[in-house]
Amino acid sequence: MKKNGLAVKIADRSRSTRDEIVCWMKTIRRAVPVAVVFGALLVAGVAHAGDVNGKVSAVGLKSAGNIAVYIDVIPGKKFTAPVEHVSFDQRNLKFTPRTAIIMKGTTVDFLNSDQVAHNVYWPSIGGDKKLRHSLTVVSPGQKKSFQFNDLGTAQVLCNFHPEMVAYVVVVPTPYFGLTSTDGTFTIKNVPPGTYTLKTWSEDGKPTTQTITQTDATTNVELAVKK
């Protein structure tokens, strides 16, 4: 797109206007089906312009997956929690997913798809035992919900089945991601600025790194150690 002479000529316009014009010009230049596909790709590319792409190398941990990576508090910025709920299922005596990262204020649903009851609780949030909470019995087929309004990680357990464990990582901004098994993660649509990136993992120490985001994709490498 940057090599397009027309795009360069209009580079002094605002980014969104320029992208709209480039998209429109490309669209009319091509046959309709090609243009539709191309336009969709272009729009997708623009929407991801501020992504942070990263890779976590896990040093001495059992896995590079399921590591939460998020942008910490941004002074002077407040965010509204999403209305959409995040869901955990309980099936075959397991929580799925094992780890969820959510913005503070998000409601989490705990559904029981098993034929037996579970007794869901967390002994603390962020190590604060005063934030202990129990959903008490979640019967087969039942769903119980909780809005997480405190920052930190809740280790979710079941009184009846000691092997059941899940983690809810509550963070202050909507800019977060969870690593795949290869350690890669994406944090979408981060506005330009300088931020503190933090990690949480089950068996590693928290990691902090400063990043500067431009309007393009930023690549980050992090090492999480035991």
Binding residues for Cu ion, per CB under 5 A? Answer: 118, 158, 160-161, 164
DSSP state of 140: T
CB of 161 to Cu ion, least distance (A): 4
SS3 47: helix
Shortest separation between residue 65's beta carbon and Cu ion, angstroms: 24
Six token digits for residue 209: 């790194």
If the CB atoms of residues 79 and 160 are measured against Cu ion, the closer one turns out to be: 160
Nearer to Cu ion, 120 or 197 (CB): 120
Distance CA 44, CA 66 (A): 26
Instruction: Name the residue nearer to Cu ion (CB basis): 40 or 93.
Output: 93
- Give min distance, CB of 134 to Cu ion, in A: 13
**Residue 113, both tokens:** 């798809």
Q: How far is the CB of 145 from Cu ion (least distance, A)?
A: 17
Please choose, from the candidates 95, 134, 90, 97, the residue with its C-alpha nearest in 3D space to the C-alpha of residue 112: 90
Is 94 or 104 the residue whose CB approaches Cu ion more closely? 94
Q: Is 201 exposed, middle or buried (0-12, 13-18, 19+ CB in 10 A)?
A: buried
Q: Which is nearer to Cu ion, 127 or 162 (CB)?
A: 162
The nearest distance, CB 99 to Cu ion, in angstroms, is 18
Give the DSSP letter string of 165-224. EEEEEEESSS-EEE--TTSEEEE--PPSEEEEEEEE-SSS---EEEEEE-SS-EEEEEEE
86 or 164: CB nearest Cu ion: 164
CB of 96 to Cu ion, least distance (A): 13
Query: What's the length of the chain?
Result: 226
